Chains A and B, each alone.
Chain A
Amino acid sequence: KNEVEQSPQNLTAQEGEFITINCSYSVGISALHWLQQHPGGGIVSLFMLSSGKKKHGRLIATINIQEKHSSLHITASHPRDSAVYICAARGNQFYFGTGTSLTVIP
């Protein structure tokens, strides 16, 4: 069993839809990261969370420490949001989820 589990693995949405990606982890962590990987491979760090909720533009990330669960929400999705979103839990080391491949259709 992986230390970090993401769902769904693949997601297709119509432009404008509200999107949620879930991440559950089983290790003790100091922080949880949400990363965005574009088709070319480049990775952008979206959020680092240790508690509560953060918002950046149309992106919202939440974390529930007790339940060991985090969600990434995208409001008013756009085709440029199409990417792989990766959840990474930082404990003694980084544990990465396998990613959620998001495709937003115009």
Chain B
Amino acid sequence: GAVVSQHPSWVICKSGTSVKIECRSLDFQATTMFWYRQFPKQSLMLMATSNEGSKATYEQGVEKDKFLINHASLTLSTLTVTSAHPEDSSFYICSAPLTGYGYTFGSGTRLTVV
């Protein structure tokens, strides 16, 4: 079935560095990718929507320059957390819509900034 492969599954980085998270669609083309963030004990929160070949749409309150999203191909969308700080520590997950079948989710990336 259609799967989104998300990497890495977990990452620890130093404050001030940048971290890239990749979501690849396997066996299907993802023209749209949703990026979510989840803080402990809280619900998933939509951060941005990326569309292949165009600029991502960010939700209110999400810093575009901090969370860089690139969707350069139909099978790859990336989220780069730039100049990461401890408050960026969270669980990040991507999701792609499937025509007629709902959505498929990546397995998530747990980011810890120390």
Q: Which residues of B contact A40 (CB under 8 A)?
A: 108
* Cα separation A93 to B45 with both chains bound (whole Å): 11
Question: Interface-forming stretch among A17-25, A41-49, A69-77?
Answer: A41-49
- How many A-B residue pairs have C-beta atoms within 8 angstroms? Tell me: 40
Q: Which residues of B contact A31 (CB under 8 A)?
A: 102
Contact A99 B104, beta carbon cutoff 8 Å? no
Cβ-based interface call for B114 (8 A): no
| Range for the number of chain B residues in contact with chain A | 10 to 19
Majority-rule SS of A interface residues: strand
- Residue from the set A43, A48, A86, A93 with the largest chain B CB neighbour count within 10 Å: A43
Contact A98 B43, beta carbon cutoff 8 Å? yes
Cβ-based interface call for A35 (8 A): yes
Contact A93 B103, beta carbon cutoff 8 Å? no
Contact A48 B43, beta carbon cutoff 8 Å? no
Of all chain B residues, which has the CB nearest A87?
B43
B50 to chain A, nearest CB (A): 14
The contact string, 1 if C-beta is below 8 Å from chain B, for chain A 89-105, is 00001101111000000
The contact string, 1 if C-beta is below 8 Å from chain A, for chain B 95-111, is 00000011111011010
- Interface residue total, chain A, C-beta cutoff 8 A: 18
Contact B110 A35, beta carbon cutoff 8 Å? no
Contact A44 B105, beta carbon cutoff 8 Å? yes
A41-B91, A94-B34 known; A86-B43 Cβ under 8 A: yes
Cβ-based interface call for B46 (8 A): yes
Contact A93 B46, beta carbon cutoff 8 Å? yes
Contact A43 B108, beta carbon cutoff 8 Å? yes
Q: Which residues of B contact A99 (CB under 8 A)?
A: 43
Contact B103 A48, beta carbon cutoff 8 Å? yes
Q: Which of B34, B46, B108 makes the CB contact (< 8 A) with A41?
A: B108
Q: Which of A33, A43, A48 makes the CB contact (< 8 A) with B93?
A: A43
Residues of A within 8 A of B (CB): 31, 33, 35, 40-45, 48, 86, 88, 93-94, 96-99
Enumerate 20 A-B pairs (CB-CB under 8 Å) in ascending A order: A31-B102, A40-B108, A41-B91, A41-B93, A41-B107, A42-B107, A42-B108, A43-B44, A43-B107, A45-B102, A45-B103, A45-B104, A48-B101, A86-B43, A86-B44, A88-B44, A93-B46, A94-B44, A96-B45, A98-B42
